[in-house]
Amino acid sequence: MKQLQYMAMIFCLLCLSPAAQETIGDYLPSPDTAGSISDSISWRDTLPLNPDPPVVLFETGNYYLLRSFYPDYYASDYRIKRDLRQIIRGDSSLYTQWDSIGVTALGLIEMFSGIRWEERILTVHPVKYLPVDGMAEPLVIPMEGIKRRDYTEAAPRGIYRQVNLIKQLAARNLLQYRHGGYRDVYFAGHPLMEGGIYRFDVMSLCIAVKCAELLFPADSLDAIYSSDSWKRHNPGWELFRRNFRDTWELTADSTLYYYVKREPYHSPLVALTVPPRVRRTSENEVPRQEQVRLGAGGGRLGFSVIRDEKGYLEVVDIDSTGLAYANGLMVGDKIRRVNGEYARNARELMGRILDKLDTEGVYLIAIRDNEEIGLLLLPLQEEY
């Protein structure tokens, strides 16, 4: 019986709807790139997928959810009801595309994580605006924009949106042990399972990226992963790419659960993901002198630079417990731009970083190993 169920699932994979071939979005490098399951991967006959995944429901009547995210913007019922109507009439491609890949995606997530779905119904809440690109608990995705205080960014669409949804579902899957089906204290209490952009989010990326490789073409994914939007909303991406992507090769046997279980609590890999402790400050508070100093042994940023012969500001010392290190900055990095602007000296660099650090974050362009990279610096709001 199980053999027939697996064969039926494989048949569904081979007959994906053309809706799964929607383009990524106009703001990505390859707007005309279309997506389908890659023919180069010989996995269809070997996947031990769960034939009984949970059901995904899309809930559009999110009146109170909209108001909770934006109480000022949605001060009137008229605006809320208007936006709810837009969501209901909105992009049907989200639902059509999910109908094509949803069962397979849920099965792949469970297989590569090694964690059984305990929830039988997963409710996804599409909203017009969201302050982030998506949430796992509750499951929320923006349909129109990522709305911050000072600007609104276009929300992911097409394949990008599907990858983003899979990422949120992967995070939701990692939370299944909370539902009582798991009694593994070592796994549940592992440092890599701690919430945050360098631990739990990176674990979610491990699963989501592996699933996406089997569902969408490589060129579409490359366009997404190289976009500024992806890097901005996934600050742990460089840490994942350099330390997990090629070393934690997820399979049906070597799952994320397997890798986490065999990783010691105090391993070098765990130490690499340690978030810094940053004192929470109010908007009106003037930073103390030691907070704005670019000294490696202290200060809020925790790194020192010198100007090299080419005029770049080269990182010569870094505090491994500081904010810059946790955001991926390394000794030897040569900083070229800060939010697209050139910094003439260390003090100007410091000023530009601290000016935007507590709002939308700071995007650095740097040279590392003769390769240009991008790093997003974000504050980690943790009291100590």
Q: Which residues contact 162 (CB under 8 A, 6 or more apart)?
A: 97, 98, 101, 215, 216
CA distances from residue 60 to 64, 171, 253 in whole angstroms, order as listed: 11, 21, 38
Per-residue confidence (pLDDT) for residue 248, from 0 to 100: 95
Per-residue confidence (pLDDT) for residue 227, from 0 to 100: 92
Q: Determine which helix (DSSP H) or strand (DSSP E) holds 303, and give its type and residue range.
A: strand 303-307
pLDDT of the chain, 384 residues: tens digit per residue: 434 444 444 444 444 333 333 333 333 333 333 344 444 344 444 566 767 889 999 988 888 888 888 888 888 888 888 888 888 776 677 888 898 899 999 999 999 999 999 899 999 999 999 888 998 988 999 998 888 777 788 888 899 999 999 999 999 999 987 776 556 788 888 999 988 888 999 999 999 999 999 999 999 999 999 998 898 889 889 889 989 999 999 999 999 999 999 999 988 888 888 765 444 444 454 443 333 334 443 467 778 888 877 778 888 877 766 778 777 788 888 888 887 788 878 788 888 888 777 766 788 888 887 877 877 777 754 433
Which domains can be identified in the chain, with CATH numbers? 2-272 (no CATH), 289-377 (2.30.42.10)
Q: Which residues contact 11 (CB under 8 A, 6 or more apart)?
A: none
Q: 12 near 103, Cβ under 8 Å?
A: yes
CA distances from residue 327 to 70, 116, 194, 350 in whole angstroms, order as listed: 28, 32, 16, 16
Alpha-carbon distance of 163 to 213, in angstroms, equals 10
Alpha-carbon distance of 383 to 278, in angstroms, equals 7
Q: 22 near 34, Cβ under 8 Å?
A: yes
Picking from 162, 133, 165, the residue whose alpha carbon sits closest to that of residue 146 is 133
Per-residue confidence (pLDDT) for residue 291, from 0 to 100: 34
Alpha-carbon distance of 257 to 377, in angstroms, equals 29
Taking only Cα atoms into account, the Rg of the chain, rounded to an integer number of angstroms, comes to 22
Per-residue confidence (pLDDT) for residue 182, from 0 to 100: 59
Q: For the chain, how many residues are written?
A: 384
Q: 257 near 113, Cβ under 8 Å?
A: yes
Alpha-carbon distance of 168 to 156, in angstroms, equals 13
pTM exceeding 0.75: no
Q: 377 near 327, Cβ under 8 Å?
A: yes
